[in-house]
Amino acid sequence: MIELYTWSTPNGRKASIMLEELGLPYRVIAVDITKDQQHDAEFRKISPNGKIPALLDHESKDASGQPRRLFESGNILIYLAEKTGILLPESGEERTETLGWLFFQMAHLGPMVGQWHWFKNAAPEKSDMAIKRYREESLRLLEVMNAQLEEVPYLGGAHYSIADIACYAWAKTAVEELSEEETEAEVVSGLNPLLNWLKRVGARPAVIRGMQIPDDQQKEQAATRSSLRESLE
């Protein structure tokens, strides 16, 4: 059994979509980042940087005989793909392309869209310079994806992969927010390969299910427990 520690963010949904695509049995433990539960000492034993998602794989043991911990979303996607032999080519150009777009998301798409969202919606002091910078960079990254998707149906090439899973929720978030911006909406509406890819990936049953994790009941459990240890016992 796999335990998934997650919340309803684009990073968290990478892991739940992946698990749904693979059909692996897993248990969800919601970590409410709006209440700083990611800083719980028990959670930090699983995710040293205090970030979701994280996994405990009870089918695989670490050197001390404990369930193997997996932290950092890209690491989780690669681990699960290699564990099952699915959604990551074993070798060749499509593998390097897939990994390239996976790291594109982790190094660029996620951080830029995340910073834009924070400065736009959560920063205690508004910074027009920061909002403009991260909005424009988010749009540029979508245009980079769009250029790739003009050539191939999926980011890694001919086949759906962990690169698409990694980028989907972040690109969806960016497109939705940019579509609300009067100055950017027209540009976004012209990114047809990207928009078609979002529809195609978003229609996959596993993606639909994964985007709903954690569900309302799992969030309620996070709200009522006194510590993460309750979920571990």
Give pLDDT tens digits for 120-164.
999 999 999 999 999 999 999 999 999 999 999 999 999 999 999
Q: According to the model, what pLDDT value does residue 229 have?
A: 66
148 and 124 in a common domain: yes
29 and 11 in a common domain: yes
115 and 163 in a common domain: yes
Beta bridge partners of 154: 157
Q: How many CB atoms lie within 10 A of CB 183?
A: 11
Q: Is the pLDDT of residue 233 over 60?
A: no
CATH number of 47's domain: 3.40.30.10
Alpha-carbon span 72 to 70, nearest angstrom = 7
195 and 118 in a common domain: yes
221 and 166 in a common domain: no
Q: Please, what is the average pLDDT of the chain? A: 95
Mean local confidence (pLDDT), 202-206: 98
137 and 73 in a common domain: no
- Counted domains in the chain: 2
CATH number of 106's domain: 1.20.1050.10
Alpha-carbon span 185 to 154, nearest angstrom = 24
Could you list the residue range(s) of the whole structural domain that residue 136 is in? 93-202
13 and 52 in a common domain: yes
Alpha-carbon span 87 to 73, nearest angstrom = 15
Q: According to the model, what pLDDT value does residue 86 have?
A: 97
157 and 194 in a common domain: yes
pLDDT tens-digit series, residues 35-75: 999 999 999 999 999 999 999 999 999 999 999 999 999 99
108 and 77 in a common domain: no
Q: According to the model, what pLDDT value does residue 107 have?
A: 98
27 and 10 in a common domain: yes
157 and 224 in a common domain: no
Alpha-carbon span 9 to 130, nearest angstrom = 22
Residues 6+ away with beta carbon under 8 Å from 125:
none
107 and 57 in a common domain: no
